[in-house]
Amino acid sequence: MNLDALVEPDRVHRTVYTDQQIFDQEMANIFEKVWVYCGHESQIPDTGDYYAVTIGRQPMMMVRARDGGINVLHNRCPHRGVQLVGNLKGNTGGAFVCSYHAWSFHLDGKVRAIPLAQGYEGTAMNKSNPDCNVKPAARVDSYRGFVFASLAADGPSLAEFLGDARIAFDDMCDRSPEGEVEVVPYCHRMVQQSNWKFFMENQLDSLHPSVTHQSTGISAGRVEKRVKEEQGAAPLHYHYLSTFASSFEQWDNVQTINFPRGHGILKAYMGLRPKDPDTLEYEALLKKAYGEEKTEEYLSRSIHHVLVYPYLSVQSPLQQLRCLRPISPDKTLSEIWHFRLKGAPEAIYRRSLWYFNLVNSPATMINADDLENWTKAQWGLASNGGDWVSFHRHYGDDRFEGDVAYSNHGTSEVVMRNQFSAWRKYMTGSAA
């Protein structure tokens, strides 16, 4: 398949969203090579705690080892292939034990015991053969408590892979007076009936909110206005919804920054720094921990969310993230997590919780219309009504500094052009 012919600088062929063969190549060449987010270390605090996690097409498990380290292993017994854990999460005690023939494994995947082991005497399969061990991910690393694994032995380090998108985790953790976050142990899980790339494009698509989300934005604005009139002020969570109905011109002023490897940032637009007593108390804690200057630096960063291409959207100012697990060309699971800022007042957690509940929950009044769009896009692109998807908006009108593209207009489709530039490099094996 000639991938170069499918991706042009300003348009892509529809099959990149619909074709099973291309999807399989995406799994092999991108998801099963790059650093994939597994979870936060606070999800598995104690020895034997595990979470099942899918990397590309590979069922894996992230487990806390005896020495406090974290291992990421294939969820597969090396004997006959049975999965070692059958649940999403749990505690496996001191060992994994296969439910079929009781081969057991230490938490690093090394074989611990095989029943009637003398039955393997004289065969190639004895305990010194590494084939008796559970296969680990080639590489595991973490950044500020966020754990990643790569199934490729070679390639860029985690720090190199994240590049400037590291700001996602710095911005989230720096907002804690202790410099750390911990997971809220409930995950919203939703399946979109569409290709994973729609999500990644949409996250930095500034032209869509006032169209797609107008019903919610307008309705919320009306109620917000009334609450303000009645009570003098409206809680911030009304604004989370009403701001979606901002004008095209306002959205056009929200800049995107587009990094190599497809990562990117949508700058802040919500104004999440009110002057109420809760915020002032919180800012005082930060100043005590970091001093005036650093606190100002941390709180004035202009970030709405950060994309780690090809699967993660981190909304650092509200301490939540959405992680994609592609299932097929037209089916994608997203896992949505919320985090607490360690040492921050309860009110700050609750303020961000409203966004988790209103925008990111399975009863979302926002993503309901996104998902509908992407479903219809998936169907539209499966048709013969046209072969190309256009990304021409403001093509040639972005500002490049080195390999970073800054949009001159917030609505520039440089976001998609940049993502597909990375996609093409990954798919053709020319990515560094």
Which residues make up the interface to other proteins (CB under 8 A)? 43-49, 85-87, 89-97, 99, 102, 104, 113, 115-116, 184-193, 212, 214-216, 218-220, 222-223, 227, 238, 241, 333, 338, 346, 349-350, 353, 356-358, 361-365, 367-369, 371-373
Q: Closer CB to other proteins, residue 216 or residue 255?
A: 216
Phi and psi at 150, nearest 5°, equal: -125, 135
Q: Shortest distance, CB of residue 192 to other proteins, whole angstroms?
A: 8
Query: How far apart, in whole angstroms, are the C-alpha atoms of residue 422 and residue 416?
Result: 10
Q: Residues 93, 84: contact at Cβ < 8 Å? A: no
Rounded to 5, what percent of the chain is helix, strand, coil?
Answer: 40, 25, 40
The residue ranges of DSSP E strands in 233-378, in sequence order, are: 256-258, 264-266, 305-308, 312-315, 320-328, 331-341
Q: Closer CB to other proteins, residue 48 or residue 156?
A: 48
Give the side-chain half-sphere CA count within 13 A for 340: 15
Q: Shortest distance, CB of residue 190 to other proteins, whole angstroms?
A: 5
Q: Closer CB to other proteins, residue 29 or residue 352?
A: 352
Which amino acid, residue 144?
A: R
For residue 365 the two structure tokens come to 């009044």
Q: Shortest distance, CB of residue 139 to other proteins, whole angstroms?
A: 25
Helix (H/G/I), strand (E/B), else coil: 331: strand
Strand order in the sheet with 36-40: 36-40, 146-150, 139-143
Q: Shortest distance, CB of residue 303 to other proteins, whole angstroms?
A: 23
Q: Closer CB to other proteins, residue 112 or residue 287?
A: 112
Q: Shortest distance, CB of residue 368 to other proteins, whole angstroms?
A: 5
Q: Closer CB to other proteins, residue 246 or residue 421?
A: 246
Q: Residues 304, 246: contact at Cβ < 8 Å? A: no
Q: How far is CA 202 from the centre of its chain?
A: 13
What radius of gyration do the chain's Cα atoms show?
A: 23
Q: Residues 77, 104: contact at Cβ < 8 Å? A: no
Q: Closer CB to other proteins, residue 15 or residue 83?
A: 83
Of 93, 31, 42, 83, nearest in space to 60 by CA = 83
Q: Closer CB to other proteins, residue 41 or residue 174?
A: 41
Q: Closer CB to other proteins, residue 294 or residue 376?
A: 376
Q: Closer CB to other proteins, residue 3 or residue 368?
A: 368
Q: Shortest distance, CB of residue 22 to other proteins, whole angstroms?
A: 24
User: What's the angle, vertex CA 143, arms to CA 137 and CA 144, rounded to 5?
Assistant: 135
User: What's the angle, vertex CA 403, arms to CA 401 and CA 406, rounded to 5?
Assistant: 50
Spell 261-275 as b/e; 16+ CB within 10 A means b. bbbbbbbbbeebeee
Q: Closer CB to other proteins, residue 312 or residue 422?
A: 312
Query: How far apart, in whole angstroms, are the C-alpha atoms of residue 301 and residue 424?
Result: 31
Of 253, 244, 239, 236, nearest in space to 213 by CA = 244
Q: Is the dihedral of CA 357, 358, 364, 370 positive or negative?
A: negative
Q: Closer CB to other proteins, residue 1 or residue 95?
A: 95
Q: Shortest distance, CB of residue 72 to other proteins, whole angstroms?
A: 17
Q: How far is CA 410 from the centre of its chain?
A: 22
Specify which residues 405 forms β-bridges with. 258, 400
H helix intervals, 232-345? 236-242, 248-252, 277-299
